[in-house]
Structure 1
């Protein structure tokens, strides 16, 4: 099982987010990546936490920051990749995987297939930001800035076109050992295709390994010494 981290990129700077809402500055992207490499992070998911107010100019500015990265760790990138023009800007970037959310929720097959042609099927990841309300799973759609019920999501479409699916617990983002494992029980995806994130602590790492999850992505709190990547990897070994 891989142990990685999420890095949120907002207005060319990294931020820490709590419960999918509160944002606190963390610093420049290269500095954050350097720290994660020192911790021997298995992978880094760079995500632009954008909603329906995103635009192409903001996207290009963030891409310029990513383009300048020097990094040996495998990187996934996503957030606001909604058209073929967005996709074209990603060619040549130091990234190995692409993360799509609204494209999967809105069944934009043309965009996903174009990405698959450019980067390969193994590079395509689907991000599902999830919350449980009244015992019902709801999925956040960034392009509408609203949640939709899981019943209205074509999970078969996702299963067919995504190599991996990131289940992101939005309610517990930024917390410790609080990922809601009821999410996993109610999502129709094979565990070996699933990545979990949002509130991941060392106890959650052990549960993820027991459930044969592909990877865990720890929130940006991993940059603090008490949450070092070494501790998470040791937790995985002990489970």
Structure 2
């Protein structure tokens, strides 16, 4: 087993697989079922699927589609998008989802994290936290559904959701999303200093070296989208994933 998880993230928009840049302008990149099958063949050991339109449209998860995903996945599946109640989460777990990931529901009411953790166990609850740098380079907590910064300091929010019972944090560097420009290492380092639960860093990953640097700065795991679906300077769609021995070698010699 690898020392650190390396996790592909698939974004759904109206049932199709898309990729965004700085959380905007989603571009269609293919069929999600086909992508899942390719990741199966490449022996990926975990997958995150986020429906970016569910919460924006105020609808529940697409259970039929998620059931199809879960039946195709040979690896543990984390799902996020439109999950707002205990009933939503319970139905997803019944379909075979291993973890639920919440974002806007946690921003609206952090006690929902506690309710989920009490009912299903904290290991089943991930919270997606979006942070972006403003014009002056200051990091701000961001609500991706309302598309606006939040007043609470992002580090205070991390502490609050950890105390509420989150099992892990999916930390999104919004300003790095889809750019393939490298991760925000200062963001990762600052977040990891506040957390005792697993930190999954995402945003900007463009190479194995980026993954290693993210881990060296405190990430317990690294998630990526563009790195696994694009190839070359023209961003041709080609789903890929490193070989196990490449990842094993990447983390070799760590304490």
TM range, smaller chain = 0.7 to 0.9
The aligned residue for residue 23 of structure 2 is: 20
| Maintained 8 Å contact 2:189/2:217 | no
Q: 1:9 to 1:71 in 2, by over 3 A?
A: same
C-alpha distance in 2 between matches for 1:52 and 1:104: 12
Q: 1:51 to 1:89 in 2, by over 3 A?
A: closer
> What are the superposed Cα offsets for residues 162-202 of structure 1, whole Å, 9 maximum, x if unpaired?
11111111112112242111212333533762110111122
C-alpha distance in 2 between matches for 1:85 and 1:77: 15
The aligned residue for residue 236 of structure 2 is: none
| Maintained 8 Å contact 2:78/2:100 | yes
After TM superposition, list the pairs within 5 Å mapping 1:55-94 onto structure 2: 55-56=58-59, 59-60=60-61, 62-69=62-69, 70-94=72-96
C-alpha distance in 2 between matches for 1:11 and 1:104: 23
| Aligned counterpart in structure 1 of residue 174 of structure 2, from 144, 152, 170 | 170
Structure 2 length as normaliser, TM-score? 0.81
C-alpha distance in 1 between matches for 2:220 and 2:194: 12
Is 1:234 the counterpart of 2:246 in the alignment? yes
- TM-superposed CA distance for 1:238, in Å, is 3.1
Is 1:35 the counterpart of 2:38 in the alignment? yes
Q: 1:177 to 1:204 in 2, by over 3 A?
A: farther
- TM-superposed CA distance for 1:72, in Å, is 1.2
After TM superposition, list the pairs within 5 Å mapping 1:177-192 onto structure 2: 177-187=181-191, 188-190=193-195
Of 37-46 and 150-159, the range deviating more from structure 2: 150-159
Structure 1 length as normaliser, TM-score? 0.85
| Aligned counterpart in structure 2 of residue 95 of structure 1, from 94, 97, 102 | 97
| Maintained 8 Å contact 2:6/2:222 | yes
The CA RMSD measured in Å over matched residues stands at 2.6
Of 28-37 and 149-158, the range deviating more from structure 2: 149-158
- TM-superposed CA distance for 1:88, in Å, is 4.3
| Maintained 8 Å contact 2:7/2:222 | yes
C-alpha distance in 1 between matches for 2:179 and 2:76: 25
